A and B are shown apart, each in its own frame.
Chain A
């Protein structure tokens, strides 16, 4: 063998696991250094976390004394699960909440399965009849015992606030966006002022306003309960954000669409409902779902005006003398639940975006 051949050496592996490692983790000296650093970071973070959450955790028992292992004490969550999920809602009436969840789940799954008939009808049912069912089932009436809203709480209250906020703010947001883009100066200026005021202030001041100022605005004898006041605040707040998202979609519409629909003689409302909005809303679906996620996370703020939402109730059970010192478990559990909801929404939005992409 000649020396010249020896020096060339074998070619660098570019295929298989080794090739992948070399290309993505050890392509040069500082990448290798970064990889080692990253591995070290994972090493100091992941094992203790896994140990605390799963391996060393306590799952069986009924009091804090059963938490003998070093890890998390999930018995704390188990024992308070009813409070955390339903608040102080009377135990014998819980089936009403579960019934509403069940309807929502069935129709939701139905809508998610592709290629089924009557989806429009199910959607209309969800938007028009379902809210009425919710009000009757949850707060009472028609022979059902009334349950005051001060007993509502936990994840259930979070879902109510987020749900009402999301469902009502979308139509208001669309109207505000149309108003802001209107050619009539008075309408456009009023909508702009409305949107900018709500967007310019933090939600917490809106909630303070809702709880302190709304009662002053109402005529004598009219008294909303705290939950409705908070709902109105959340609704307007998120409507203003959605309005800007929708306006983005309206602005992105090519002018030809407006001109073409006017040329075939559509009135303003028909043009918007049949041509412009369906297309522009489709364009901004990811941003709309982004706003929904923001609303969902923001519902936690209602605890500052004394409503016990999911996070509020977890704070509250943590102050129970029997269960002092388990705040870590509470926060980790709350974080996990919120994360699952938000991540599911953002995952769905990405999927929808791909599906609706007609390749313009």
Chain B
């Protein structure tokens, strides 16, 4: 009897048995919760006469969208509106990331300046911008600044080619004539060759110690081929400038005020975070590294390129990608000023019309989720690639 008891006891108090038991309970509870939600949802949808499934994607959407990068009209399908929204989101995220990086790196380096005034101005920029909600900043740029701009006739202009007024920002358009595709193919080809040169130069330096000026050679190759092919095909690329005709501008590229305000606010706001990332990254490189590099006789530009920047980048890149991702997710605030992004077009208008909340919100969340997971995958690969041997 007694041995039996202790057997049962040791069975009950065995760590792995307890583990299995707890996991079964957890799994059971989660399954129960999901079952509860699913049955409720199914019954609710039946009662409200809501359809389910993705058939609605092929149906005519019957609404128009203010800004589209592809052909779109009210006779297009809901799926087309999804694509339009997605492209608009990617567009604003792309431009935003570009400007946020430029401003962020500038401000981050300014904060480390030995010039007291410049460092303080950069610090003020960071502390002010990052402590004010992004939505408020978007509202400010949109309602208080862009809407208050003059009419097209009194536009603010720059070099007679950039015009800013309450209808938006008008910039010159590049027109690609016949034969310009060859230039693009050549451009891509030279870029690929340059990457090859870089890899080869690195290998050669690792095995023989001889340096090859890969940067200058590839720059010369890319630019040279570009201009030669441009000349050879007879300059098929030209610019079309916006012109004031009647009450509005014709020609050129029109950026709607919503896009301008959103990009501006996203870039300025995210830049304040990027500035801190950059500052942290540069400060993380210990002073001894610079001193050691100086003592082995490296020149100032080589110290920067070979010692400081590679080490700072290892610290900077992961949080920087995180900021890019944040910017992309924050671009969904577009809905508040009616810029037709994925959320406004699809989770707003399309959802209101079809009522298929689960499918639509699932798709929208899926897009952002994919972007996030994809980015973290790239990041993990980057970290593995950048890992120094022997480091934890």
Which residues of A are in contact with B by a Cβ distance under 8 Å? 24-25, 27, 31, 34-35, 38-39, 41-42, 183-187, 190, 196-197, 199-202, 204-205, 208-209, 212-213, 215-220, 293, 297-298, 300-301, 303-304, 311, 315, 318, 327-328, 331, 334-335, 338-339, 342-343, 346
Q: Is the CB of B373 within 8 A of A196?
A: yes
Q: Is the CB of A338 within 8 A of B132?
A: yes
Known contacts A200-B373, A205-B364; is-contact A300 B135 (Cβ 8 Å): yes
Q: Is the CB of B133 within 8 A of A311?
A: yes
Q: Is the CB of B115 within 8 A of A24?
A: yes
Q: Is the CB of B369 within 8 A of A201?
A: yes
Task: Find residues 1-49 in chain B having any chain A CB closer than 8 Å to their own CB.
Answer: 19, 22-23, 26-27, 30, 37, 40-41, 43-45, 47
Q: Is the CB of A34 within 8 A of B44?
A: no
Chain B nearest CB from A158 CB (Å) reads 10
Other A-B pairs, 6, CB within 8 Å; known A187-B22, A197-B365, A208-B364: A202-B343, A216-B358, A311-B139, A331-B143, A331-B144, A346-B131
Give the complex CA separation of A328 and B358 in angstroms. Answer: 39
Q: Is the CB of B43 within 8 A of A328?
A: no
Task: Find residues 103-133 in chain B having any chain A CB closer than 8 Å to their own CB.
Answer: 113-118, 121, 127-128, 131-133
Give the complex CA separation of A212 and B357 in angstroms. Answer: 6
Chain B nearest CB from A188 CB (Å) reads 10
Give the complex CA separation of A201 and B40 in angstroms. Answer: 24
Q: Is the CB of A200 within 8 A of B372?
A: yes
Residues of B within 8 A of A199 (CB): 372
With beta carbons under 8 angstroms apart, the residue of B37, B40, B44, B134 that contacts A297 is B134
Does B336 belong to the interface (CB within 8 Å)?
yes
15 pairs across A/B with beta carbons < 8 Å?
Answer: A24-B115, A39-B117, A190-B26, A201-B369, A202-B329, A209-B365, A212-B357, A212-B361, A216-B358, A297-B133, A300-B133, A331-B139, A331-B143, A342-B131, A346-B131
With beta carbons under 8 angstroms apart, the residue of A31, A186, A327 that contacts B144 is A327
**Nearest-neighbor residue (CB-CB) of A194 within chain B:** B30
Chain A nearest CB from B145 CB (Å) reads 9
Chain B nearest CB from A241 CB (Å) reads 11
How many residue pairs at the A-B interface have CB separations less than 8 Å? 148
**Which of B116, B118, B136, B343 has the most C-beta atoms of chain A within 10 angstroms of its own C-beta?**
B136
Q: Is the CB of A38 within 8 A of B117?
A: yes
Give the complex CA separation of A39 and B121 in angstroms. Answer: 10
Give the complex CA separation of A315 and B147 in angstroms. Answer: 14
Chain A nearest CB from B169 CB (Å) reads 20
Give the complex CA separation of A328 and B144 in angstroms. Answer: 6
Q: Is the CB of A205 within 8 A of B332?
A: yes
With beta carbons under 8 angstroms apart, the residue of B22, B117, B136, B336 that contacts A184 is B22
Chain A nearest CB from B366 CB (Å) reads 9
Closest CB pairs A-B (n = 3): A200-B372, A342-B131, A24-B116
Q: Is the CB of B41 within 8 A of A217?
A: yes
With beta carbons under 8 angstroms apart, the residue of A39, A213, A311, A342 that contacts B135 is A311
Q: Is the CB of B369 within 8 A of A25?
A: no
Q: Is the CB of A343 within 8 A of B136?
A: no
**Nearest-neighbor residue (CB-CB) of B145 within chain A:** A328
Give the complex CA separation of A293 and B273 in angstroms. Answer: 13
Residues of A within 8 A of B371 (CB): 200
Give the complex CA separation of A331 and B37 in angstroms. Answer: 41
**Nearest-neighbor residue (CB-CB) of B121 within chain A:** A38
With beta carbons under 8 angstroms apart, the residue of B23, B115, B336 that contacts A186 is B23
Task: Find residues 315-341 in chain B having any chain A CB closer than 8 Å to their own CB.
Answer: 329-330, 332-333, 335-336
With beta carbons under 8 angstroms apart, the residue of A35, A183, A201, A346 that contacts B365 is A201
Chain A nearest CB from B385 CB (Å) reads 22
